[in-house]
Amino acid sequence: MATLGIPANTIAVLQKYHFNFQKKFGQNFLIDTHVLEKIIDAAGVMKEDFVLEIGPGIGTMTQYLAEAAREVTAVEIDKNLIPILADTLSGYDNVAVINEDILKLDISKIAEEKNGGKPIKVVANLPYYITTPIIMGLFESHVPIDSITIMVQKEVADRMQEKPGSKEYGALSLAVQYYAKPEIVAVVPPNCFMPRPKVGSAVIRLTRHEQTPVQVDDEKLMFRIIRASFNQRRKTLANGLSNFPEIHLEKELIQQSIEELGLPVNVRGETLSLEQFAELSNILGKKIENKSNL
């Protein structure tokens, strides 16, 4: 039975192993059974599912996942946690622990081996210092993903959901919304963790789109344009794009493309929707092609 969500049990394990929290790994362990149940529920984990957990810590959520899923693979970077996990997960025969940095792991290979290449569910209370690279890595490397249900910093969860016009809208909002439908499913205060983080947290579920919501000829070019637009937030879109080294187009051509989109030439990037970025990227892509054919 899952036991570690109860604070006294977590403290007992930490004391037994004289465990020292490592700040550099973003270690804040969950000590709230309601939050744990909510995460499992929001992730929609079923008996037939394979689940990848990132950063199991002492195995608190892993116990819940092992009870709900067919099989769990948990990837933990901190070698000091491996003997602890062997102990706290000894009652489960459907969990594999890998001692590795998630950013260095071939997750497609795990999905292939453990789930026959079918879409997997990812569930994690993420180390906040690498939230964005983990999420973007999962999406951009085209790992077969069904959904990602993760605890992140509240502000970052908000940013993923934002729409054009808001101050927090940016490259992360667009990237997440291109690949998935984001929904915040719980707001979690610092006292649900040990030690308490300085920031508020939220659980967000990213359900992967079966088909991307916009048609883009060149995904990489669209994301380059998006990065360029938000890199220099206070500049107009045309200035931002013409100053960006990865986009080799004259300002006049960029301005023409913006006008073809039906937008004023002095528009700022932060007002464009995902659809408009996709359209702009398709227009610019054609101009780049024409230029290279000259």
* Binder of ligand SAM out of 27, 147, 153, 257 (CB under 6 A): 27
Residue environment code for 146-171, b if the CB has 16+ CB neighbours within 10 A, otherwise e: bbbbbbbbbebbbbbbbebeeeebbb
Q: Residue for token digits 């915040």? A: 184
Quote the least distance from Cβ 292 to ligand SAM, whole Å.
Answer: 39
What is the rounded distance in angstroms from the CA atom of residue 193 to the CA atom of residue 104?
27
- Extract the runs of DSSP E, i.e. beta strands, from 114-242: 120-125, 145-153, 180-188, 193-194, 201-208
CB-closest chain residue to ligand SAM: 55
CB 54, min distance to ligand SAM, A: 6
User: Which positions from 103 to 142 touch ligand SAM by CB under 6 A, shown as an x/- string?
Assistant: x---------------------x-x--x------------
Lookup: tokens for 49: 């599912």
Angle (CA) 54 59 64, round 5°: 90
For ligand SAM, the binding residues in 148-207 under the rule CB under 6 A are: none
Q: Give the footprint of ligand SAM on residues 48-107 (CB under 6 A).
A: 54-57, 60-61, 75-78, 81, 101-103
Separation CA 115–CA 280 (nearest Å): 38
Which C-beta is closer to ligand SAM: that of 60 or that of 281?
A: 60
The site for ligand SAM, by CB under 6 A, has a size of: 23
Q: Which pair of structure tokens corresponds to residue 190?
A: 């610092």
* Residue 145, SS3 per DSSP: strand
- Residues 197 to 216 in contact with ligand SAM, rule: CB under 6 A: none
Interface with ligand SAM (CB under 6 A), residue from 2, 13, 19, 25: 25
Smallest distance, ligand SAM to C-beta of residue 96, A: 14
Least spacing, CB of residue 206 vs ligand SAM, in Å: 18
Distance between CA atoms of residues 11 and 213, nearest Å: 46
32 interacts with ligand SAM by CB under 6 A: no
Stretch that binds ligand SAM, among 13-21, 26-34, 114-122, 251-259 (CB under 6 A): 26-34
Q: Which amino acid is at 137?
A: G
Q: Toward ligand SAM, which CB reaches closer, 127 or 240?
A: 127
CA dist 41 and 277 (Å) reads 35
Nearest Cα neighbor of 276 from 249, 255, 257 is 257
Site residues for ligand SAM per CB under 6 A: 25-30, 54-57, 60-61, 75-78, 81, 101-103, 125, 127, 130
